[in-house]
Amino acid sequence: MKTFIRLTAIVRPYFWWMALAALIGFATTGSGIGLLMTSAYIIAKAALQPPMAALQLGIVGVRFFGLARGVLRYAERLVSHNTTFRILAKLRLWFYDALEPLAPARLLHFRSGDLLQRIVDDIQSLENLYTRVLAPPVTAILVALLMWVLAGTYSLQAALLILCFHLLAGIGVPLLTMLLGRGLSVGIMNRKTDQQLLALDLIQGIGELQVYGRLAGHLEEMRSVESAKLQLQRKNAIVEGLQESLTGLLMNGAVLTILWALIPIVSTGAMNGISLAVITLAVMASFEPFIPLPAAVKHLEADRHAGKRLFEILDAKPETSSPAAPVPFPANRAIKIEKLSFTYPGSLTKALDSICFSVPAGQHIAIVGPSGAGKSTITSLFMRFWNSSEGGISIGDVDISLLDPEELRRNISLVSQRTYLFAETIRENLLLAKPDATDEELRKALSQAGLINFASKLDEWIGQHGMKLSGGERQRIAIARIVLQNAPMIILDEATANLDGITEKEVTDTLSSISRGKTMITITHRLKAMDQYDNIIVLDKGKIVAQGVHENLMNREGLYHRMWELQHATPAVLTEVPE
């Protein structure tokens, strides 16, 4: 119930629109009832062969209610769907606004396929919250009150009997189908989630599955999940058929009961036969808004489950947050790291252990070390994806925790090992760095990044994750973003790790060219062109084991020297010595 209350609070701003749609829905059903009542009146009255003038009221009523029913149905659909789409848009924006501060720290515990299921299908499921959960009961209650008034004018007993059948149709049948179908909607949603996770694993890991001989087992698991989902859907279809049959049975029972209750009144002359026919058909029509109620209970279960899954993410506290009164970004771009320590949640080993170093404004430094040394952790802390356990990072003597995170990231250009490109055009991917950039600025950025041939392909689609581009081209797109962003600080986190030697040198030269006069931190385990850096910091197991320029570090017999020798050693040429 708590989840449902929280969901209804989200749609509360649209209360009057929902009320208007419910009122029009009631008027639509009322027009249907009026159409049958006036039709019954004409047929029953005409059987008595009255003057034509006596039928005029019924004729006008049929025309009016017939036209009104169509117009009102259109208006109800227009208002209800407009309201639903507004609610859905609000839900998506609300979820993204709440999700964005959680990335990436708080989202590491969720698989990407599961997140996609929650973002797309679970939110899509909530579109039923109004049209199929909140609106139908309101319409049914209003119609029940209308029938109470109509039947009560002739017989209180008849009104009570109709009310009893309406209660059975509005409460009894939904409760019964809820008990019979308990867990079916949630089970189907869970199987769909499992299918999406398995499909994503198949697409992304088909090579590994083939290498380790697990492809056949994975496909069998997918078939098993599909079979389980189909079995649940069959059970759900049986329950849906049962609820429709029960509602129809109650409608027929109500008709027979109302005849049983009113025929004695007709025989006494207190009510004529025409009125009996009119009320009987009105009772039949009054069950129309009760048909969706069992489905409303089913959708309520699905919506509560979807809401629970969404709130499971949104209730998580962001790892970092913006200060109440952010300090303006300092003009001094000097970076200072003092006694910085960090331990990842669930780990007993420090990723960084009391490291200290500084980067004067405009200098280029490199942070090197073996994999797992803690190099990329520095990037995560610098971008405020995580908060440090101890110590801190300052820019111009201002601790970055006092800065607005968005302002901080706007002043830092980051190129990581894996450049993420959206399944969009080159233009759209570049505009992420500068949304108001002109075509001339985009072409200039591509030219500086070594992609002059792409200047005429701005509106070319690059495929999912940029798969139509090579690894070097994707990294150059990232460099073009740096040019457009024009931030005073640049961080390169293994930016050339996956490139071949020739492409790596071209990308490195381009980066050196566009970073002149800017502060640049290069994080890498590949020691190439190290003499161009003003300072080199060597990390091992989260600690700084050495720092200095390339020549000084090579003169020491330390980790840096061993890494250099290992990466630049010339393979020995083995020759066969004749006997």
Alpha helices by DSSP H, 287-387: 293-314, 375-382
Long-range contacts of 495-503 (CB under 8 A, 24+ apart): 495/415, 495/416, 495/417, 495/522, 495/524, 496/524, 496/526, 497/417, 497/524, 497/525, 497/526, 498/417, 498/418, 498/471, 499/471, 499/472, 499/475, 500/472, 503/471, 503/472
Question: What gap in Å lies between CA 514 and CA 199, rounded to an integer?
Answer: 42
Q: How far is CA 274 from CA 50, 166, 263, 266, 359, in A?
A: 13, 24, 12, 10, 95
Alpha helices by DSSP H, 153-214: 156-167, 173-180, 184-211
Helix, strand or coil, per DSSP, at residue 337: strand
Q: State the virtual CA torsion across 527, 529, 534, 540 in degrees, nearest 10.
A: 0
Question: What gap in Å lies between CA 342 and CA 352, rounded to an integer?
Answer: 5
Is pLDDT above 80 for 210?
yes
Supply φ then ψ for residue 493, to 5 degrees. -105, 95
Segment 218-227 mean pLDDT: 92
For residue 404, which of 319, 322, 312, 517 has the smallest C-alpha distance? Answer: 322
Which residue is listed with tokens 């007709």? 266
Q: Which class is 2-182+239-314 in CATH? A: mainly alpha
Supply φ then ψ for residue 461, to 5 degrees. -75, 135
State pLDDT tens for residues 67-122: 998 999 999 889 888 888 888 888 888 888 877 777 776 776 677 667 777 777 77
State pLDDT tens for residues 533-551: 999 999 998 999 999 999 8
Is pLDDT above 50 for 428?
yes
pTM score, two decimals? Answer: 0.66
Per-residue model confidence (pLDDT) at position 575: 43
Give the rounded percent of residues in the chain with a pLDDT score beyond 90: 19
Q: State the virtual CA torsion across 344, 349, 355, 359 in degrees, nearest 10.
A: -40
State pLDDT tens for residues 20-67: 888 898 899 889 888 888 888 888 888 777 887 778 888 888 899 989
Per-residue model confidence (pLDDT) at position 576: 45
What are the sequence ranges of the domains in the chain?
A: 2-182+239-314, 335-411+487-568
Query: Cβ atoms within 10 A of the Cβ of 450, count?
Result: 20
For residue 402, which of 414, 387, 380, 420 has the smallest C-alpha distance? Answer: 387
Asked whether 430 and 483 are in contact (CB, 8 A), the reply is: no
Per-residue model confidence (pLDDT) at position 400: 92
State pLDDT tens for residues 332-380: 889 999 999 998 877 888 889 999 999 999 999 999 988 888 888 898 8
Supply φ then ψ for residue 538, to 5 degrees. -105, 120
Which residue is listed with tokens 């430094």? 365
Select from 3.30.160.100, 3.40.50.970, 3.20.20.450, 3.40.50.300 the CATH code of 335-411+487-568.
Answer: 3.40.50.300
For residue 454, which of 434, 468, 436, 433 has the smallest C-alpha distance? Answer: 468
